[in-house]
A = this chain, B = another copy of it.
């Protein structure tokens, strides 16, 4: 039960429905989601452990504000982990998985060509998800997923920057080529380059507001 509540609250945070520093009052949330306070409490504890929420004793919970600097730091951690994933994927990929990876890349290309930003974003996600599956590295996957939730809005904004999609797509082509070629070092290097490019983009973002 509390897990579902946590999922709902997490979605609300990621969607921007709950904004940084917003108070999350147990009884209000209980009423909103039609559950008891105990479930809300447990959900907030989970979200605190995911660093999406901060709680102070006797003072309740708030949506955690993440500065651009922290988003960059989080992305740096993601970068090294995505590099590990790419390397493992290159070591472990089988024919079927390779075919699917290329398929996703083609969908990504098509979305890119028709300038369908939403579809591009979705295929980008699907590509990374597929790499996690190919890599079969549960720990890395788990840590990445958690970190991603913390920076999702920065990622959205970064991806809206002019020319970003062109760069991103080329980088993904390089990643897929290296992985399909079963070259762990090249895969690692390609992913590293991609993630550094993401970080560079983040660094160029104006430091306005919190996410």
Contacts and interface: CB of A to CB of B under 8 A. Distances in A.
Interface of A: 41-42, 45-46, 49-51, 70, 73-74, 76-77, 80-81, 83-84, 137-140, 142-143, 147
Oligomeric state, in number of copies?
Answer: 2
A136 to B, nearest CB: 9
A49 B50 CA distance: 8
Contact of A143 (B45, B46, B84, B143): B143
9 contacts: A42-B42, A45-B45, A45-B46, A46-B49, A49-B49, A51-B142, A76-B140, A77-B81, A80-B83
Main secondary structure of the interface of A (DSSP, over half): helix
The 5 closest A-B pairs by CB, nearest first: A49-B49, A80-B80, A73-B139, A77-B139, A74-B139
Contacts of A49: 45-46, 49-50
A77 B84 contact: yes
Residue picked from A42, A50, A84, most chain B C-beta under 10 Å: A84
A138 B76 CA distance: 11
A41 B45 CA distance: 11
A73 B92 CA distance: 14
A140 B77 contact: yes
A80 B76 contact: no
Contacts of A46: 45, 49
A37 to B, nearest CB: 11
A207 B143 CA distance: 25
Nearest to A88: B76
Nearest to A142: B51
Given A49-B49, A50-B49, A76 B137 contact: yes
A57 to B, nearest CB: 8
